[in-house]
Amino acid sequence: MKIALTIAILLIAVIVYLRIDFLVGLARLRKQHQPEIQDERHTSTFLLATGEDFFEKLFADIEASRHHVHMIFYIFKEDHIGTRLIELLEKKANEGIDIKLLVDWIGSKLSRKTIKRLQEAGIVFAKSHTPRFPTFFFSLNHRNHRKITVIDGKIGYLGGFNVGDEYLGRNPRFGFWRDFHMRFEGDGVQDLQDQFFADLALAGINNQQKKSDYPVLEKGPHPVRFFTTNGTVLESLLLERLKEAKHSILLGSPYYVPGETVQEALIQASQNGIEISLLLPQKSDHPLVKEGSMGYIQRLIESGVSVYHYDQGFYHAKALVIDQSFGWISTANLDKRSFHLNSEMTCLLENEATVSVVVTRMLHDIEISEKLTTQSLKQRGLYSKAKEQLAGMVSGLL
């Protein structure tokens, strides 16, 4: 009896400690980091919606680089495509190209041997958001979720693709992988470069920037803005945009655990006659994430929102379109982690020509997906509902 009581007291003490650790770390983050919407840029944009397109373009741009390649990835695996990219970066470094690679401390799967190889080739390598005291538990959860590449200061990438074979549809569990990544040429790339150097400095690498890092950039036909968040204000920006909708809202995300504020905004918009479609994956790549979304989804459907499960593979795109005239492509998911914890970056698309490309792709994916109904959700078993209850208890960390 005494042993059981001691264990219970220790367990409660650990839970209380972790809660205090998390809240203190979160308060410090919100005090230190202020969000920033960049000035309007006029660039040339290209939507990449398959892993084949993304890696083909990325590898070709790196191969053609003449000055530098700067990269941030949340996940970087040492599998087939990861090894190919590592070999290409080494090759370019040996040609005298300045290569800098920043990966998330948790998301990176590179071995010490490979990291040493990269560094011996002259590549600047660092890990972002290394856990540290006194708020160790919070720092474990505060991840750099950005995926940015800048090549010669003139070409930039931002979106959902990481480095791993699954993003090419090579994981039999998930099959085809749908994702959105934007490729930029010219004006606007300087904002991605700024963010890269800011994240590199936070990782403890204070390299002096060179003139070649910021070349003169040509303006393009597509107005965009970049929006950087570090666990702050992304939810507020989303709410502002949702309230501006007059006719329709299209949403795509691999995860939907938004919290009550965004949830109620969507329900209210639907009740006001706004046509809303939400596209999510049928499969799940993380424990409890799908279960964490089910209660939200049921209420959305009951309020008139059309919710679809993409069952042609895995859906990982992070997109928003309002009235087919405004959109965004982001590294952020529709979940509490992206809203309140992760370091993210979003590209705001501000003209119909650019947005129409995203709309076309999303509508195609909706057409080939399964529309959920209240009847289908009611068929969930007791085991699934029990997992949903557990997911609700830890929804802020899903």
How far, in Å, CA of 108 to CA of 368, rounded? 33
How far, in Å, CA of 351 to CA of 367, rounded? 24
Of 328, 318, 321, 293, the closest CA to residue 307 belongs to 293
Which member of 70, 100, 145, 387 is catalytic?
145
As a whole number of Å, the CA-based R_g of the chain is 21
Q: Alpha-carbon torsion 190, 196, 197, 199, what sign?
A: positive
Which member of 316, 336, 340, 387 is catalytic?
316
Contact 330, 180 (CB under 8 A): no
147 given a catalytic annotation: yes
- What Å distances lie between residue 340 and 106, 196, 258, 334, CA to CA? 18, 21, 10, 11
Contact 334, 261 (CB under 8 A): no
Which member of 77, 100, 154, 318 is catalytic?
318
Phi, psi of 315 (to 5 degrees): -105, 115
Which member of 21, 98, 104, 152 is catalytic?
152
How far, in Å, CA of 19 to CA of 16, rounded? 5
152 given a catalytic annotation: yes
The residue type found at 67 is H
316 given a catalytic annotation: yes
340 given a catalytic annotation: no
How far, in Å, CA of 232 to CA of 230, rounded? 5
Alpha helices in 33-146 (DSSP H): 51-63, 80-94, 112-120, 136-141
CA 306 to chain centroid: 23
Contact 169, 176 (CB under 8 A): yes
How far, in Å, CA of 94 to CA of 98, rounded? 9
User: Burial code of 282-320, b = ≥16 C-beta within 10 A, e = fewer?
Assistant: bbbbeebbbbbbbbbbbebbebebbbbbbeebbbbbbbb
365 given a catalytic annotation: no
335 given a catalytic annotation: no
According to DSSP, the residues that pair with 251 across neighbouring strands are 278, 320
How far, in Å, CA of 320 to CA of 251, rounded? 5
Which member of 147, 290, 336, 387 is catalytic?
147
Q: Alpha-carbon torsion 115, 120, 123, 129, what sign?
A: positive
List, by residue number, the catalytic residues. Answer: 145, 147, 152, 316, 318, 323
